[in-house]
Amino acid sequence: MPAIVEFHLGDVVRLRKPHPCGSYEWRVVRLGADIGLQCQRCDHRILLPRSTLERRLKGFVQKAGPEQVAGAEDKIPTKDERPKTKDERPRTKKTTD
Ligand SMILES: [Zn+2]
């Protein structure tokens, strides 16, 4: 049974082969059909098909957990302010003779 590896943005992975700069560690910067990786030492970016990445993957150095995102909560204030549409025009009755 094949193991399904889940990647998340911000994960740091270790690959079996080092980048020419000498670093084994890459950060996941893009998810999709291809996984975008950024070298942790020289900031070089590559795109690898998921299957290729899974083959080269040695392990996770750091997993981007939900607790990492917890700090960035933006609350939208729920204002129940409806514009007043009540149009109170003073009625001026024109009296014509
Ligand atoms: Zn590198």
In the chain the first and final C-alpha atoms are separated, in Å, by 97
d(CA 38, CA 26): 5
pLDDT in tens, 38-81: 999 999 999 999 999 999 999 999 998 665 444 444 555 556 66
Give me the amino acid identity at 28: V
Residue 90, pLDDT above cutoff 80: no
Tell me, yes or no, whether 83 lies in a domain. Answer: no
Q: Ligand 1 centre and the CA of 66: distance in Å?
A: 27
The pLDDT tens digits of the residues spanning 16-38 come to 999 999 999 999 999 998 999 99
- Ligand 1 mean position to 23 CA, how many Å? 6
CATH code of 52's domain? 2.30.30
Q: How many domains does the chain have?
A: 1
The range of the structural domain enclosing residue 32 comes to: 12-63
C-alpha 56/C-alpha 68 separation (Å) is: 26
Give 35: exposed, middle or buried? Use CB within 10 Å, 0-12, 13-18, 19+: buried
Looking at the domain assignment, is residue 86 inside a domain? Answer: no
CA 15 to ligand 1 centroid distance, Å: 12
The answer for residues whose C-beta is within 8 angstroms of residue 76's C-beta and 6 or more apart is none
Residue 55 is predicted with a pLDDT of 95
